[in-house]
Structure 1
Amino acid sequence: MEHLEKVFRWLGFEVVAHRNKTAAEMKNLLKDVGKTVDGDCFVCCILSHGLKEGVYGTDGAVISVDEIREPFNGNNCQRLVGKPKMFFIQACRGKRNQDHVLVQADSSEDGESEMEVDGDDFDITIPADTDFLIARSATDGHLSYRRPEEGSWFIQSLCRNLEQHCPLGTDIQTVLLCVNNEVSSQGFKCKQMPVHEVAMRKKLVLLPP
C-alpha cells in the first residue's frame, strides 16, 4: 500500500487513502468522491479480498465492479467527462488456480476493417462509460497471489513498471502489458494472469512532474 501511494504521489497525483471499509462504506465513499472529484485524470486503487461477483468489504458484503465504476460515469460525474478514469483492483475473482500451459511461437497477420456511417450533421457526444480503464489482478474465477514480505504480485509489478516506464513517456496500456507479462511469468505451480478492460479513446501517458 505504501509503495502504491508513493508511486502515484511521484506521478503528481493527490493521494487520499481509506482503510478497512465495509461494502456500504465503500459505496458511499465512491459516490461522495464522484460528486466532488476534479482534475485531468482520476485513479482509484482497491486492495481487498474478492470473488467472481466483486470485492469484499470488511463486513463480508460485496461491492461489484459496476458499483465501483458507476459514480464516475458521464451521467454521475460531469467533472470527469472526457477525462481518463483508471481503476486498479487487487482481489481474487474466484478460488481456482490459473492453469499453466506450454507456449509455442506463432505468427498471424492482423486485418483491418473500416465502418462508414452516413448521416446528417449532429452534435458530438460520447458514451457515458467512455474513458475508463479497469485493470484487475486476475482473470474471472481465479486467485490472486501475494508474497508476505513484498505484497501482491500485481500491485508490486504495477509499481515497478510505472516507475520504470512512465519517465520514458510509455503509454499506460503498454505499461499494463508489461505488468501482464511479468505477473504471468511468476510462479510455477501457482500462476496468475492480470486483465484490463479498456474503454479509452486516446493513449494516456503519465509523466512525473
Structure 2
Amino acid sequence: MPNRIKSSPSKEDIQASFPELQKLFIPAPTSRNQEDPVKAADEITEYKMSSKPCGLCVIINNVNFDPPLKDRYGAHSDEESLKMVFQWLGFSLRVHKNQTAEQMKDLLKTYSQQQHDGDCFVCCIMSHGSSDGVHGTNGTIVSRDDIFGPFSGKSCPSLINKPKVFFIQACRGKEYHLSVEVQPDSYEEEEVEADAEMEDEASFETDAVEMSTLPADADFLVARSTVKGYVSFRETISGSWFIQSLCKQLKKYCPKGEDVQTILLCVNKEVSEKAARLRITGIAKQMPVHKVTLRKKLVFRVPNPQ
C-alpha cells in the first residue's frame, strides 16, 4: 500500500482543539492603514518662512588679530560667500569685522534685544577658537553662554518659537583628524582621497572652539566646522572647507526644498572627504557637526528662484 503523507495540523486546528493554548499564539502585526502608512516625516511640520525679509543674518568675521594670534587669510572669501547666499535667500544682512571679545558680546546682546519681526535668525561667526570658546581679535574668549545665552526664550522673547541658527567656523582644539582606510562594498570604485583637495601645508591654515552643549531651550540649530578637540581648515585664498561647502550645498538644495538638517548632512559628507597633507602628521581630515533643538523642519525658501 502506498505511503500516505499526513498534513500537519494548522495553527487554527490546534487552537480549536486546545483553547487554553490560544494565548500562546501571537497574532501577526497589522497596520492600521496598509495602503497609506504614516511616516514620521509626514507628521513633522515646517517653520513659517514667508516673511519678507524672512529674517536677519548677522555675520561676524574676525580676520586681523593682535599678536601672537595670526591673521585669518582667506576669511574674506567666506564672508563674501555667506553674504551672497543669505541675501539670495531673502535675509537682511549685518556684517561686522574684526571684533574684540567685548565687542562681540555687546553685539550679540544688542541683536537679542531687538524686535525680530522675521521668521528666523541666523548668526555666522568666523574666528580663531580654543577649547574655551571663540576668540575676539584681542585674543580674549567669547564663551558658549555669551553666544547662545542672549537668544534664549527668556532673554529674547521676539524669537520664541522661531528658529535660531548658528554657523561657527573655528577650531575646537588642537588635534588633527587622521585618515583611515576604507573599502567600499560596491562594484564601483570610490576614490575618496583622489577626489579630495590635497593642499600643500603652506596654502591652508587652522582656526584652532569648544561649545560642548546647546542651551536648554527650543528652536536652536548650531552647526560647527569640526567636532570637539579638533582643528578646522581654512585655505588661505579660497576660504574654509566648512563655510564654502555650506554655501555650495545651500545654493544647490534650497531651490529643491530640502530642509537645513539634510543639507548639513551633505556638508558633512563633502568636508569629510577632503584631506590636507601635513608634513608632520601626514593626511589630516575634518568632520563638521551640528546639534539641534528644532521642533519642526527648517527650510530656507528661495524668494524668487531662477
Superposition TM-score, scaled by structure 2 size: 0.60
- 1:59 aligned to which of 138, 144, 149: 138
Alignment correspondent of 1:46? 125
Q: What is the letter of the counterpart of residue 135 of structure 1?
A: A
Q: Report the equivalent of 1:208.
A: 302
1:28 alignment partner, one of 81, 106, 121 = 106
Structure 2 residue runs without a partner (length 5+): 1-78, 186-214, 277-282
Of residues 265, 268, 273, the one that matches 1:177 is 265
2:94 counterpart residue number: 16
What is the match of residue 290 of structure 2?
A: 196
Identity %: 56
Q: Deviations over 1:148-172 (max 9, x none)?
A: 2210000000000000000000000
| Gap runs ≥5 in structure 1 | 107-126
Aligned equivalents of 1:151 and 1:201: distance in 2?
32
Q: CA–CA distance in 2 between the matches of 1:36 and 1:177?
A: 32
Q: Secondary structure at the match of 2:284?
A: coil
Q: How far apart in 1 are the matches of 2:108 and 2:143?
A: 12
1:160 aligns with 2:235: no
1:5-63 alpha-carbon deviations (Å, 9 max, x no partner): 11000000001000100111101110000000411000000000001111000010001
Distance 2:216 2:113 in 1: 15
Size of the aligned set, in residue pairs, is 189
Amino acid corresponding to residue 85 of structure 1 in structure 2 = K
Q: Kindly report which structure 2 residues correspond to 1:54-203, keeping only aligned pairs within 5 A, or say none.
A: 54-103=133-182, 129-187=217-275, 189-203=283-297
* Residue identity matched to 1:152: S
For residue 109 of structure 2, what is the amino acid of its counterpart? Answer: K
**Alpha-carbon distance change, 153 to 68 in structure 1, aligned in 2, over 3 angstroms:** same
Contact 1:74 1:128 in 2 (8 A): no
Give per-residue Cα distances to partners, 1:125-154, cap 9 Å, x unaligned. xx9610000000011110100112210000
Residue of structure 2 in register with 1:124 after alignment: none
SS of 1:18's equivalent in the other structure is: strand
CA distance in 1, matches of 2:226, 2:115: 28
More strand, by proportion = 2
SS of 2:275's partner is: coil
- 1:116 maps to which residue? none
- Could you tell me how far apart the structure 2 residues matched to 1:186 and 1:128 are? 33
RMSD: 1.5
